[in-house]
Amino acid sequence: MHTGKLVFAQLTDLIHPEQFHRCVRRYHGDYKVKTFSCWSQFLCMAFGQLTFRESLRDVETCVRSRHDQLYHLGIRGDVSHSTLADANRQRDWRIYYDLAQLLIARARALYQNEPMGLELDETVYALDSTTIDLCLNLFPWARFRRTKGAVKLHTLLDLQGSIPTFISISHGQMADVRLWDELVLEPGAFDVMDRGYVDFFRLYNFVLAGAFFVTRSKARLQFIHLEGLPVDRVTGVRSDHLVRLRHESSLQDYPAKLRHIHYVDPETGKSFIFLTNNLVLPALTIAWLYKNRWKAELFFKWIKQHLRIKHFYGTSENALKTQIWIAICVYVLVAIVKKHIQSERSLYSILQILSVNAFEKEPLHQVLTNFGSQNSEESLCNQLEFRY
């Protein structure tokens, strides 16, 4: 007799059925589908992400081994390698993109009061990208170099809770700076990025939108000093100046003032030159904001290590994007669970516990709270938790 819900079903119950079906109807995902629906496809792919399956054949074997519990997982119809491969190849990946946006909005609301380590009223985002290498023979549409394939994963990460607010998947040859053409700037917010995103024509849009950026200066950038600001050299700040760009072409692209800050990290002795259009915040705060840009790189490291976005179940562009967006959905679901049960565990720890208890019939909060004491040395390099 079935009593209680399976842990995996409790996790996927966090997705509102009507919201999911709206995403499906928007792209006609279940058109002429008789048995294996988009919901069953999502559950199988999410199960593969949660339990670290290496292939569709692996997913099929594991799911079929618990055929008596498929109904309680929410999967309708037979699960086979070929059916799942066809669904990933043919059904529009935007279904799961839209689902991810809905989950991200919920997660951001839950993490909006998460401390950042700095009292700052404005929202702070870290912008970065990572390259996912592909075999060119298997992914000929993703040509990156003559003998290499790749796609890029761009993200805008909200530093409160490390929730990705914007994600874009592009071909590996796309320049990072072109991402600005897709982003809508939020007035009053800070976007922190490395110098690969420096394009003064596009950066001037921050001034027009009332938003702020923090980045590193490119080498040999020429500018005119306008005014020196007082600094406390003990903090590591060596200089703080208001400047204008020198070259006429650059000045046409960015006619406003810039702030030029020279900072030396007291711990490492490494020297940084920061550029920002914020003329008010202390220079040390600007340096702190840039330091936290590394959360975006840790986010990429986390999902590459603990989700399946390096080894793909299909070779078509649609299958690849479907897998990545469902992986993002799983990441955000784990972040939502962490907040719902007020767990002190890391996302890594929660993911591991859920992976080995997917077929247990025990409330989620009990599974995550009765799993013994958390090891203080628990894979610290793998956690999406940050210490400074």
- Is 72 part of a structural domain of the chain? yes
H or E element that contains 323 = helix 317-340
In the prediction, which pLDDT does 219 show?
Answer: 81
Structure tokens at 337: 């669970």
- Is 217 part of a structural domain of the chain? no
- Is 67 part of a structural domain of the chain? yes
- Is 269 part of a structural domain of the chain? no
H or E element that contains 134 = strand 124-134
Domain that holds residue 55: 7-96+314-382
In the prediction, which pLDDT does 298 show?
Answer: 86
In the prediction, which pLDDT does 21 show?
Answer: 95
- Is 150 part of a structural domain of the chain? no
Query: Could you give the number of structural domains in the chain?
Result: 1
**Sign (positive or negative) of CA dihedral 67, 68, 71, 73:** negative
Query: How many other C-beta atoms are found inside a 10 Å radius of the C-beta of residue 367?
Result: 18
Adjacent-strand bridge partners of 259: 242, 276
Angle of helix 38-50 relative to helix 56-64, nearest 10 degrees? 100
In the prediction, which pLDDT does 315 show?
Answer: 94
In the prediction, which pLDDT does 3 show?
Answer: 62
- Is 331 part of a structural domain of the chain? yes
In the prediction, which pLDDT does 344 show?
Answer: 84
| Single-letter amino acid code for the residue at 374 | Q
- Is 132 part of a structural domain of the chain? no
Average pLDDT per consecutive 10 residues, the chain (388 residues; last block may be shorter): 76 94 95 88 92 90 80 76 92 96 93 78 90 92 90 91 89 90 92 92 95 91 91 92 92 94 91 94 93 87 84 93 95 92 86 88 86 45 40
> Tokens 């761009």 correspond to what residue?
154
- Is 62 part of a structural domain of the chain? yes
Predicted structure pTM score: 0.87
